[in-house]
Amino acid sequence: MTDEPNRVYKDLKRTLQVTADSQEARMVDLKGTFSSYDTNAARLVFSLVKDSVPFPLASLTANVYLKAPGLHVQYACTIDKTLSEVTYILSEEVLQTRGVILGELYLNYNQGQHLSAHQFTFKIEQALIDQDLEYIDHVYINDLEDIKETYVDGFEHLKLELESSVADLQTQTTHLDTQLNAMQATLDGMDMLKKSGDTATNTIQFGGDTAISVVSNYVKHYIGAQTNGTIVRVYFNETWGDTFTEYLDVVVGGEEVTSSDGRFILSALTSASPYVTGYAPPGYLNTKTEIGGIEKAAHNTITYKSMWDIKRNKQAITLQGDTNTSGTWVFDTVPLVGAAQLETATASQQRATNTLSASKNYVDSIAPVKEIVWEGDNSGMLTTPQTLVKAITNYDFVHIQFKNLGIAQYDVTDCQDNKAIIITRSDTADSGTSATQYLRRLKFQFQNNGTEFVGLSAFWAYGTTIQNATDVGILRIVGIKLKKEAT
């Protein structure tokens, strides 16, 4: 948390445990008192922890709700992700409330979750200078008849002015209607295309080198190479500085994704591709990616890209198409002398289309089937069986993404019921000594004919210290079914 230069604050600090435990989650008395004179200086500072570890504050907003007799308000807080701190400077409205103030801190995640971090209390006392202020009430009583006499004339004058203004507006409206009718009659008499769906009755001539160009909004955002199974969330917006609200998730190694309304598309992403690509509606200009809680926004990553052009090349016509915004196809028609040449150009284009269609059908026939059979986070729920949407016995391989343990792939024959599977990961500090080696280990098994999995143990070790771990688990299980090569 970095304070502004030359700003002084009266801080009331407290570390809050984010937990449902009845002892830890009870209302906390901050044991502090502010003065009604502490304008722009009274500040609440909360350090959030969970299981003695700083609580992550990425991809969320924080609000504080304060309550007292005559006071019911909610304000946005400032978040310091590095220090896991949330701060709020008391408003003038709050400072003018005397006595005990009840409060509660809320965390609102961008993906829709909401969390009550803690309830607390503190006090506000009236400053001596505020107690010495004198208030003088002046009451003026006028006779009802005097009031009527004062304002009736004014109302009558206002009525006359309004009636005159309405008459002027009616005259102006009639004049505008006459002008619009005349303009419409002129347009109706002109031989031109006026709107979508109109039919041209004569020849349309284009004088430029490009007669017709069909464009799309092409998305291209650099993310660097990512491992298979990584979830990349891509946000879209129209104006830089506005909030990013619309987004799509694409999985590295997965398939192309489309929004429910069909307006946004993200192309299939491989571990070798440093860019996430796709399409967005007209008007969208910027994107922001989120990978593992790290957000990166970029300007002008959505640009117009030509999909199909009809062009002139000297005395020849060029039809240039780019169906996937890469691997451009160009069909050049020769100057038309007879119908036979036109048929040859058309047949050539049809053969190319048929060849591509056959190639795609062949690739689809041998491509493996990948299906997500479970997704979530079972960290800390080792004894709770997790049900798969489809048994792993339906597949040849099982691809598993772990939390803090990387990614692994297993032959389904190695995942038999009640057969323990162990995965470990070690991280070594710069010194490289055994005392600084950090080891995580997870043990789990599949059961119930491959329709469930359950954790057996999870721990981390540092030097000679061994402790149960709640930050390791399984995030996603993908079943992979191989297809036999087409003949």
User: What 3-state DSSP class applies to 26?
Assistant: coil
Q: What is the 3-state secondary structure (H, E, C) of 391-438?
A: CHHHCCEEEEEEECCCEEEEEHHHCCECCCEEEEEEEECCCCCHHHEE
Rounded Cα–Cα distance for residues 343 and 326 (Å): 28
Of 444, 455, 446, 388, which is closest to residue 415 (Cα–Cα)? 446
Which has more confidence, 332 or 175?
175
Residue 101: pLDDT over 70: yes
| Structural fold of domain 10-131 | Immunoglobulin-like (2.60.40)
pLDDT at 268: 94
Name the most confidently modeled range: 256-270, 297-311, 361-375: 256-270
CATH of domain 210-305: 2.60.40
Which has more confidence, 341 or 291?
291
pLDDT by residue (tens digit) across 298-344? 988 998 777 667 777 766 777 666 655 444 455 554 444 444 444 45
Q: Which phi and psi (to 5°) does residue 120 adopt?
A: -155, 170
**Beta-carbon neighbour count of residue 247 at 10 Å?**
19
Percent of the chain with pLDDT over 90: 42
pLDDT at 458: 87
* In the chain, ranges of CATH 2.60.40.3350 domains: 10-131
Buried b (16+ CB within 10 A) or exposed e, 351-366: eeeeeeeeeeeeeeee
**Beta-carbon neighbour count of residue 446 at 10 Å?**
25
